[in-house]
């Protein structure tokens, strides 16, 4: 009995697996699979095989090759490759459609096994990135090019190198590029948002590398997405699937896309001089149109036509409002229930004094978050040293007694001395809200406990004499011991507040500041 007959019998009657049949007959597992496939293609089951001789059975499963005069219809492999990128399309379905078009009975069509082998052999001739098959609208690959573009400051002549961002859609290879100054988290996310606007929709997966700007904890198995990137993913409803470190094949599409952008866009711009980032981006945008309309060499159509047929219909619509870029900063609520950002102070509900919070800062606003919950929001201010205070954030005692609370602080200062009282009064009179001077007044009280009332009074007198009655100046005077020098020269005591400064080449009196 031939191996073919034995194989078919064991597969049909013994209930053995392919591996077990191969072991029983002393042949390879692939040979068992091949015999089963050829029998299925030939329409020969075991009952029918049992009636045939060994030679007849082999002839049915392995017919001699047809003479070349009997030509089979060659499939359009490039079209097959593009069709496989449509959701749900398989080689089995495409073979059945090809066989149906090959004439009555499909006599001029290749069998399924030969059809698959020929397609795979053809696909090996494509670039690796082109061989990859991603369903339409599934993946957007992003990266930065290695090359940079010089941008000249027209005023100073200084040259700054602009970075070039590249994004490629998986199914169509539709490409987007733009220039940014750096590769910060804001640059990455801003460029990705611009890409989504350019393609007019959202893919299901975003595939970046694992730069620190995007991935807080790079890892081959469980990378942790950075805060701004995570916010972008949530706003647009897209999943982030970072490529594994050291595995460029995970993002081969954009690796090749970067090469194409460098060859067809950056090389074309090498002789041009740019003076602004916007000017450079306009030049890149103009060349992108030609790049996406350039015909493929081995596939039908172009990136633009493939995008219209494959990716565009599968993309989800963009949200009504684009994401507003933000930066995040850790902070702690001070005793005066304010947090600081770039020298400006923003109020927080007073019950959160001392709490660790996170600031979410946009171009126009500042949000204060605690455990991801917003507890305060303000318009952003560029006034260094200023305060933005919401009355509802103040303690009830502060709101109900705004008049006497500053007076109480001034009374304390005057009990220390006239100079100290004047410095405390200055804190109240030079703030939009008197409560905003609490921080400095509490600091003065601490200095009184640390250095004593007499030294504090002398330091406040010196601060007034140099027209700098701030807490920082008083503290510096005490730390440097300048209050002792002044007290010694003037005989000490409260007289220091009224006596003139001694004449000395290194001492600058009020007159100095009046002329400078």
Query: CA 128 to CA 378: how far, in whole Å?
Result: 51
Q: Is residue 132 one of the residues assigned to a domain?
A: no
pLDDT in tens, 269-313: 988 999 999 999 999 999 999 999 999 877 778 999 999 988 999
- Same domain (yes/no): 151, 217: yes
- Same domain (yes/no): 389, 462: no
- Same domain (yes/no): 309, 161: yes
Q: Is residue 204 one of the residues assigned to a domain?
A: yes
- Same domain (yes/no): 301, 161: yes
Q: What is the CATH number of the domain that holds 306?
A: 3.30.420.10
Query: What distances in angstroms separate CA 170 from CA 58, 165, 210, 228, one per listed residue?
Result: 45, 16, 19, 24
Residues with Cβ within 8 Å of residue 498, at least 6 apart in sequence:
none
Query: CA 47 to CA 442: how far, in whole Å?
Result: 100
Q: Is residue 68 one of the residues assigned to a domain?
A: no
pLDDT value at 129 more than 60 = no
pLDDT value at 245 more than 60 = yes
Write b or e for each residue in 266-299: b if 16 or more Cβ atoms lie within 10 A of its Cβ, otherwise e: beeeeeeebeebeebbebbeebbeebbeeebeeb
254: closest CA among 175, 328, 365?
175
Query: CA 100 to CA 280: how far, in whole Å?
Result: 53
Domains held by the chain: number: 5
Q: Is residue 66 one of the residues assigned to a domain?
A: no
Q: How far apart are the first and last CA of the chain?
A: 114
pLDDT value at 85 more than 50 = yes
Distance of CA 483 to the CA centre of its chain: 54
- pLDDT at 181 (0 to 100): 95
Query: CA 253 to CA 134: how far, in whole Å?
Result: 10
Q: Are 264 and 92 in contact (CB under 8 A)?
A: no
Q: Are 349 and 375 in contact (CB under 8 A)?
A: yes
**Domain that residue 448 falls in:** 401-514
The encoded tokens of residue 48 equal 């029918």
pTM for the structure as a whole:
0.55
Residues with Cβ within 8 Å of residue 232, at least 6 apart in sequence:
189, 192, 193, 323
Q: Are 110 and 104 in contact (CB under 8 A)?
A: no
Other beta carbons within 10 Å of 182: 13
Q: Are 163 and 179 in contact (CB under 8 A)?
A: yes
- pLDDT at 435 (0 to 100): 62
- The neighbouring-strand residues paired with 341 are 344
Distance of CA 143 to the CA centre of its chain: 11
- Same domain (yes/no): 171, 187: yes
Query: What distances in angstroms separate CA 453 from CA 412, 428, 437, 450, one per listed residue?
Result: 11, 20, 20, 9
- Same domain (yes/no): 390, 419: no
Q: Tell me which of 314, 346, 369 is where a domain ends.
A: 314
Length in residues, the chain? 516
Mean pLDDT, residues 369-392 taken together: 90
Q: Is residue 376 one of the residues assigned to a domain?
A: yes
Q: Tell me which of 396, 430, 445 is where a domain ends.
A: 396
- The neighbouring-strand residues paired with 164 are 179
Q: Is residue 131 one of the residues assigned to a domain?
A: no
289: closest CA among 319, 270, 313, 265?
265
The encoded tokens of residue 72 equal 């089979």
- Same domain (yes/no): 146, 268: yes
- Same domain (yes/no): 306, 168: yes
pLDDT in tens, 45-78: 888 888 888 888 888 888 776 554 456 778 887 7
Q: Is residue 108 one of the residues assigned to a domain?
A: yes
- Same domain (yes/no): 229, 258: yes
- Same domain (yes/no): 342, 236: no
3-state secondary structure of 430: coil
Instruction: Write the burial class of residue 99 (CB in 10 Å: 0-12 exposed, 13-18 middle, 19+ buried).
Output: buried
Q: Are 385 and 440 in contact (CB under 8 A)?
A: no
- pLDDT at 49 (0 to 100): 82
- pLDDT at 107 (0 to 100): 66
- pLDDT at 419 (0 to 100): 93
Q: Is residue 69 one of the residues assigned to a domain?
A: no
pLDDT value at 404 more than 50 = no
Q: Are 200 and 312 in contact (CB under 8 A)?
A: yes
Q: Tell me which of 396, 431, 452 is where a domain ends.
A: 396
- pLDDT at 514 (0 to 100): 39
- Same domain (yes/no): 35, 154: no
- Same domain (yes/no): 386, 284: no
Q: Are 119 and 110 in contact (CB under 8 A)?
A: no
pLDDT in tens, 202-234: 999 999 988 888 888 888 778 888 888 998 999
Greatest mean pLDDT among 113-127, 264-278, 424-438 lies in 264-278
More confident residue, 228 or 100: 228
pLDDT value at 96 more than 60 = yes
Greatest mean pLDDT among 90-99, 143-152, 389-398 lies in 143-152
């Amino acid at each position: 009995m031939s191996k073919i007959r034995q194989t078919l019998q064991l597969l049909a009657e013994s209930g053995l697996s392919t591996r077990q049949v191969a072991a029983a007959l002393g042949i390879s597992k692939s040979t068992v699979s091949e015999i089963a496939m050829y029998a299925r293609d030939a329409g020969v089951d075991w009952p029918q095989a049992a009636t045939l001789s060994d030679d007849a059975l082999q002839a049915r499963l392995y017919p001699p090759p047809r003479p070349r005069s009997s030509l089979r219809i060659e499939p359009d492999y490039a079209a097959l490759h593009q069709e496989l990128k449509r959701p749900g399309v398989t080689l089995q379905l495409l073979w059945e459609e090809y066989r149906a078009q090959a004439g009555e009975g499909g006599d001029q069509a290749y069998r399924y096994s030969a059809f698959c082998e020929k397609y795979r052999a053809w696909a090996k001739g494509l670039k690796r990135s082109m061989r990859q098959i991603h369903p339409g609208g599934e993946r957007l690959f992003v990266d930065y090019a290695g090359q940079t573009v010089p941008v000249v400051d027209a005023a100073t002549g200084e040259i700054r190198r602009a970075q070039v961002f590249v994004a490629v859609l998986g199914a169509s290879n539709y490409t987007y590029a733009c220039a940014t100054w750096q590769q910060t988290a804001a640059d990455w996310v801003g460029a990705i948002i611009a890409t989504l606007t350019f393609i007019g929709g959202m893919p299901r997966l975003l595939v970046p590398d694992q730069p620190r700007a995007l991935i807080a904890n790079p890892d081959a198995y469980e990378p942790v997405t950075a805060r701004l990137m995570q916010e972008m993913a949530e706003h647009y409803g897209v999943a982030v699937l970072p490529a594994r470190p050291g595995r460029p094949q995970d993002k081969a599409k954009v690796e090749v896309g970067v090469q194409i952008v460098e060859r067809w866009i950056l090389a074309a711009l090498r002789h041009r001089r740019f003076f602004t980032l916007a000017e450079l981006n306009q030049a890149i945008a103009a060349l992108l149109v030609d790049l996406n309309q350039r015909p493929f060499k081995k596939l039908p159509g172009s990136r633009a036509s493939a995008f219209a047929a494959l990716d565009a219909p599968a993309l989800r619509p963009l949200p009504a409002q684009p994401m507003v870029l933000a930066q995040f900063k850790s902070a702690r609520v001070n005793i005066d229930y304010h947090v600081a950002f770039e020298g400006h102070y923003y109020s927080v509900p007073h019950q959160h004094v001392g709490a660790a919070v996170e600031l979410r800062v946009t171009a126009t606003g500042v949000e204060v978050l605690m455990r991801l919950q917003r507890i305060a929001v303000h318009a952003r201010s560029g006034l260094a040293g200023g305060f933005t205070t919401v009355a509802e954030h103040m303690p009830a005692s502060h709101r109900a007694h705004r008049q006497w609370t500053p007076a109480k602080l001034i009374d304390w200062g005057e009990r220390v001395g006239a100079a100290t009282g004047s410095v405390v009064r200055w804190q109240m009179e030079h703030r939009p809200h008197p409560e905003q001077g609490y921080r400095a007044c509490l600091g003065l009280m601490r200095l009184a406990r640390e250095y004593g009332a007499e030294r504090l009074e002398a330091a406040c007198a010196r601060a007034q004499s140099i027209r700098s009655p701030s807490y920082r100046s008083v503290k510096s005077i005490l730390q440097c011991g300048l209050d002792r020098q002044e007290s010694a020269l003037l005989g000490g005591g409260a007289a220091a507040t009224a006596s003139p400064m001694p004449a000395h080449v290194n001492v600058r009196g009020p007159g100095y500041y009046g002329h400078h």
